[in-house]
Amino acid sequence: MKTSYPKEDIKVLLLEGVSQSAVESFRRAGYSQIEFHEKSLPEAELKARIAEAHIVGIRSRSHLTKDILENARRLIAVGCFCIGTNQVDLEAARALGVPVFNAPYSNTRSVAELVIAEAIMLLRGIPQKNALCHRGGWTKSAAGSFETRDKVLGIVGYGHIGTQIGVLAEALGMRVIFHDVETKLSLGNARAASSLDDLLERADVVTLHVPETPATKLMIGATELAKMRKGSLLINASRGTVVDIDALAAALRSEHLAGAAVDVFPVEPKGNDDAFVSPLVGMDNVILTPHIGGSTLEAQDNIGIEVASKLVRYSDNGSTLSAVNFPEVTLPEHPNSRRLLHIHRNVPGVLSRINELFSAGNINIDAQFLQTDPQVGYVVIDVSADEAQAAILKDKLAAIPGTLRSRVLY
Ligand SMILES: NC(=O)c1ccc[n+]([C@@H]2O[C@H](COP(=O)([O-])OP(=O)(O)OC[C@H]3O[C@@H](n4cnc5c(N)ncnc54)[C@H](O)[C@@H]3O)[C@@H](O)[C@H]2O)c1
Ligand SMILES: O=C(O)[C@H](O)COP(=O)(O)O
């Protein structure tokens, strides 16, 4: 299938060492111009490279701001090869007519397994025992060591990861309570806490699985930490902005908390060669991991295939199913028609201008698909037209006031 750009001209920019499964998926789909970087790029370089790209793939480290997106004039779509999409200005991308895709489940299990392992390690006091052994010490003692059985696990954010953790924790005999802003179906014997405070006051282990939003910013600060039980444990594998890290360090120093496991930080190194700085460094009772909750080969492989296939589908066929910021359209194949894609500001008059264009040209519409949200309209029109006619129609569509992006698929 040919697109309005010959496929060989479509530039795919893949950053942050996304899995080779993504590269292979693009190649199998006929895309040959793939620029691959192991790391995130400094802002100025990112801006320059993305200006050339039609498709860009990132992970959690690359920040696609309004300024960077506005500079990306050729951009068709963005793929976040991870769960979180807070690193992209989704509103700006939508306003520019650029759908953003992610992998909402592919690393869920990896995060859940890490959290369960950390809960067991923290309850047994293993981080500090391990550290002492490495220094030549020896404390063979049961003091401060507990089984998981019958302990209360408090899950904040009972979504994909939170629920998966709840199921695994119950298999260990833990009692699971959760807090979420939405009403959620309890899995197994899990029970909703009456509030965040209720959860913090009852849990032996608190684990955080909320997205980064204005409401979750610093949702666990000194006040919330003080409400946690003395000797309890905190795990954060969500986003670094969710916890006041200095308040956490203070709660650990005062021994109000017995330990913590932290995978995400307010400021994270840009790459593997940069230094990691945190007030938690040097605390033996804290497990520190470099944002690797979702970093297993299985998860990365699956994410590569999942996100690349969403990007290829959008590029080849126009489907936006599961885009996180865009009207969703699932489209059939169009073997006998040319397909025109038109993304526009959702303002009165655009659709009638589009339809006038076809009636004035006496062009028969084989099928039309439309989906809108309050800001953006996405219309897909299959027409019986030859390649030259389709190219002219595409140019006329692009000239309609309010147009954000337009393409033709042959
Ligand atoms: N450490 C890692 O490598 C890693 C890997 C994957 C995901 N993550 C992070 O974990 C987050 C959660 O992932 P998920 O797949 O479970 O997402 P999800 O969307 O399935 O679940 C998030 C849950 O949090 C709830 N929530 C939102 N705001 C809340 C608030 N203010 N208070 C309480 N609950 C709130 C939502 O209703 C939802 O149920 C992601 O957004 C991402 O930032 C980190
Ligand atoms: O949002 C996610 O899926 C995680 O934070 C993982 O991000 P990463 O791909 O940068 O490891």
Q: Which of 238, 288, 298 to mutate to test the pocket of ligand 1 (most atoms within 8 A of CB)?
A: 238
Cα of 13 to ligand 2 centre, how many Å? 18
Residue 210 in contact with ligand 1 by CB distance below 6 A:
yes
Backbone angles phi, psi at 324, to 5 degrees: -90, -10
Cα of 121 to ligand 2 centre, how many Å? 23
Is 291 one of the catalytic residues? yes
- Please state, rounded to an integer, the average pLDDT across all residues of the chain: 95
pLDDT at 410 over 90: no
Confidence of residue 336 (pLDDT cuts 50, 70, 90): confident
Catalytic residue among 268, 328, 345, 353: 268
Confidence of residue 3 (pLDDT cuts 50, 70, 90): low
pLDDT at 387 over 90: no
pLDDT in tens, 115-170: 999 999 999 999 999 999 999 999 999 999 999 999 999 999 999 999 999 999 99
- Ligand 1, atom nearest to 239 Cα: 43
DSSP 101: E
Q: 191 has which bridge partners? A: 177
What does the alpha-carbon distance between residue 259 and residue 252 come to, in Å, rounded to a whole number?
Answer: 7
Candidates 65, 287, 107, 278; CA nearest to 209 is: 107
* Residue 211 in tokens: 């997205």
Residue 291 in contact with ligand 2 by CB distance below 6 A:
yes
Catalytic residue among 59, 94, 109, 239: 239
Is 229 one of the catalytic residues? no
Q: Which of 39, 107, 209 to mutate to test the pocket of ligand 2 (most atoms within 8 A of CB)?
A: 107
> What local confidence, expressed as pLDDT, does residue 1 receive?
41
What does the alpha-carbon distance between residue 186 and residue 148 come to, in Å, rounded to a whole number?
Answer: 20
Segment 361-389 shows an average pLDDT of 92
pTM above 0.90, yes or no: yes
pLDDT at 2 over 70: no
pLDDT in tens, 206-245: 999 999 999 999 999 999 999 999 999 999 999 999 999 9
Assess contact for 182 and 209: CB atoms under 8 A: no
Cα of 184 to ligand 1 centre, how many Å? 13
What does the alpha-carbon distance between residue 351 and residue 56 come to, in Å, rounded to a whole number?
Answer: 29
SS3 78: strand
* Locus of tokens 């509030």: 195
In this structure, how many other beta carbons lie within 10 angstroms of the beta carbon of residue 348?
7
Residue 209 carries which side chain, given as an amino acid letter?
Answer: H
What does the alpha-carbon distance between residue 57 and residue 76 come to, in Å, rounded to a whole number?
Answer: 12
Confidence of residue 7 (pLDDT cuts 50, 70, 90): confident
Residue 84 in contact with ligand 2 by CB distance below 6 A:
yes
Residue 399 carries which side chain, given as an amino acid letter?
Answer: A
- Ligand 2, atom nearest to 81 Cα: 9
